[in-house]
Amino acid sequence: FIMNGLIKDYADIFHLDRYAETIKTMEGFGEKSYNKLQASIEKARTTTLPKLIYSLGIANIGLANAKIICKEFDYDLEKMMQASPEDLSAIDGVGEVIANAFVAYFRNEKHVEEVKKLLQELVIPKEEKQEGEQIFAGVNFVITGSVEHFSNRNEVKEVIESKGGKVTGSVTSKTNYLINNDTTSTSSKNKKARELGIAIISEEEFLKMLGE
């Protein structure tokens, strides 16, 4: 689509219906494929601010970083676009490299115009404030291995974040708990946790912390 000039910026994705007949005649497409494409595009109109930030492809900004930044700025994109490297570097979990990449992106007027144009095509529901007691506020977790009481590790991560905690991918001196059902494992994460004196807890122990 880009090579054929149908997409020149992000917002153009949501107007491919202008080229319906052209797309239907393209290799690999037909009526059915075009309809599936349009259905996917319409579904993509509703998203979250962290997913939008992540989708922009800013260097070193993953979805986890995007969530942290959005939360810090109360999901106010205008504030985020005006932020200084110092503002971002002060956020726990956002280093100098990420801060500089984020600020540099939004200092580019072309990028800002593209994002504003894209926003006109999207529906971003207001982020609901986390309900319930924030028992994990300021607590950092790492999750490894398989889980039994949750569908997957991402579900555990969502529970932790809903309680004010944070989940990272690697064990560091800032980690408070490593969740691993195989607490006696000799995996690299378990070894690192033992070296740093970090508690290795099972899923059962984590559920007890939740009061379940």
Q: Mean pLDDT, to the nearest integer, of 52-65? A: 90
Do 22 and 6 meet the contact criterion of CB atoms below 8 Å apart?
yes
Residue 35: left (phi > 0), alpha (psi -120 to 50), or beta?
A: alpha
pLDDT band at 180 (very low <50, low <70, confident <90, very high): very high
Report the predicted TM-score, pTM, of the whole model to 2 decimal places.
0.63
Do 98 and 131 meet the contact criterion of CB atoms below 8 Å apart?
no
Is the pLDDT assigned to residue 114 strictly greater than 80?
yes
Q: What is the pLDDT of residue 129?
A: 57
Backbone angles phi and psi of 137, in degrees to 5:
-60, 125
Q: Mean pLDDT, to the nearest integer, of 157-184? A: 92
> What distance in Å separates the CA atoms of residue 40 and residue 90, rounded to the nearest whole number?
38
